[in-house]
Amino acid sequence: MWMLGAAFTAAAATQVSAAPEKRCGWLENPSPANWWLNDKDGTWTLLTMGNEPVPGLDKMPDMSTKGWVVTNAGGHGYGCACLDLEIDPRTREVTRIVAARPLPLKRCKADRALRAP
């Protein structure tokens, strides 16, 4: 019985599931297959070229509806957004995008805690 309990405890410890955190800041997509969110606490990577995207990225709505600054060919650039993210507390890596919504650019421009994109 001890072995079963130990196995269950070990399995539970590896499946870290935190409540989604609302993170707001500059959502950047500077080039194909590169997405991240920069908020007051740092950079949250959603996708980098050659790697798998964070689950939920494909369900993100059109983020250009409240303003999008094009900085590169193909519509790549940045906007202001709030994302509800599941984050592994041990690694500080995004494990899933639960929800996303675009915000007006002026919201991020007015936030002194955010560095310019």
The predicted pLDDT at position 61 comes to 94
DSSP state at residue 16? -
Q: Which domains does the chain have, with CATH numbers?
A: 18-110 (2.40.50)
For residues 96-101, give the mean pLDDT: 98
pTM attached to this predicted model = 0.83
- The secondary structure of the chain in percent helix, strand, coil, rounded to multiples of 5, reads 20, 45, 35
The number of CA neighbours under 13 Å toward the Cβ of 17 is 4
pLDDT of 2 above 50: no
pLDDT band at 15 (very low <50, low <70, confident <90, very high): low
What's the pLDDT at 10?
Answer: 42
d(CA 29, CA 82): 15
